């Protein structure tokens, strides 16, 4: 580890073990605290990601459990959450209540992993019914543990096991305001070149899509129109070099207002594609805002 990274990691580990912030580090360490710190430092020196060593990480203010069953939440995915929340808050007319959806509108996070995206949507969209799906039962177990992070909003979050759209209830077809996902988008060839902290510790199934890296993204684009309500948005995290091809795929599939948002580093990162609203010539009721 570089010196600067080591200093930051050391601070995190000491705060985790002591329960104290930096201003109180002058207090004597207990024997149990010293032993635990030694164990955590050894795990970090062996290359285990800091987030897994700590067992928790923050995502848009939510304190989430993270371990090798799920991907580590990243700043790029916080941007995905921000875009999805903005899409859900768009200038929609009051939607009807649909059978099987108890809230004023519904959203879905496909491939939820730790639950980070789903729980951010539940916390920041108080009228949303949230479906969080994953094909991995162990990932869903982590998401279930993380429900406590959103307090009473957890009552609006539904976890379902299955592959992509197959896990959604039939009653939500054509009735989702937003579908969001951070799917696998690494190629099989790229996986070998990932940093050891990622390659050797994070779940490969949540990283690698296939030979092109676009397999999961293309599947989500192909199926989204059947599940979105008119004007609803598909919001996907992708790699910068995949953006142009996914925009073309979304436009060819019949989406409107297809756009790509950049992350904090200025790289293409978030695809947004809306289901058309008949008679408006736009993905928004009444035309573009």
Secondary structure letter of residue 165 according to DSSP: G
Q: What is the dihedral of CA 103, 256, 132, 182, to 10 degrees?
A: -150
Confidence class of residue 199 from pLDDT cuts 50, 70 and 90?
A: very high
Please write the tens of the pLDDT for every residue from 220-242.
Answer: 999 999 999 999 999 999 999 99
pLDDT of 82 strictly over 80 = yes
pLDDT of residue 212: 97
Residue 130 pairs in a beta bridge with 107, 157
**Residue 241's closest CA among 267, 263, 220?**
267
Sorted by where each begins, the domain ranges of the chain are: 3-46, 68-274
Q: What is the pTM of this model?
A: 0.84
Confidence class of residue 40 from pLDDT cuts 50, 70 and 90?
A: confident
Query: 68-274: which CATH architecture?
Result: 3-Layer(aba) Sandwich (3.40)
**Residue 143's closest CA among 164, 160, 167?**
160
Confidence class of residue 23 from pLDDT cuts 50, 70 and 90?
A: low
């Amino acid at each position: 580890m570089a010196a600067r990274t080591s200093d930051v990691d050391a601070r995190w580990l000491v705060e985790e073990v002591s329960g104290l912030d930096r201003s109180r580090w002058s207090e004597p360490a207990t024997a149990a605290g010293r032993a635990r710190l030694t164990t955590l430092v050894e795990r970090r020196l062996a290359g285990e990601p800091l987030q897994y060593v700590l067992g928790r990480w923050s995502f848009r203010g939510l304190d989430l459990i993270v371990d090798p069953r799920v991907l580590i939440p990243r700043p790029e995915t916080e941007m995905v959450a921000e875009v999805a929340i903005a899409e859900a808050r768009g200038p929609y007319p009051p939607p009807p209540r649909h059978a099987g959806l108890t809230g004023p509108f519904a959203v879905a996070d496909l491939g939820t992993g730790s639950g980070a995206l789903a729980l951010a949507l539940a916390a920041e969209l108080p009228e949303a019914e949230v479906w969080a799906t994953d094909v991995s039962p162990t990932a869903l177990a982590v998401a279930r543990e993380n429900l406590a992070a959103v307090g009473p909003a957890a009552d609006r979050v539904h976890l379902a096991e299955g592959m992509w759209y197959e896990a959604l209830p039939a009653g939500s077809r054509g009735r989702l305001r937003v579908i969001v996902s951070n799917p696998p988008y690494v190629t099989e060839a790229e996986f070998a070149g990932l940093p050891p902290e990622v390659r050797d510790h994070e779940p490969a199934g949540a990283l690698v899509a296939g030979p092109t890296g676009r397999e999961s993204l293309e599947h989500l684009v192909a199926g989204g129109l059947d599940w979105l309500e008119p004007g609803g948005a598909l919001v996907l995290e992708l790699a910068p070099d995949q953006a142009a091809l996914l925009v073309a795929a979304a436009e060819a599939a019949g989406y409107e207002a297809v756009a790509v948002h950049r992350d904090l580093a200025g790289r293409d990162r978030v695809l947004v594609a809306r289901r058309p609203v008949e008679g408006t010539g736009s993905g928004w009721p009444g035309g573009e805002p």
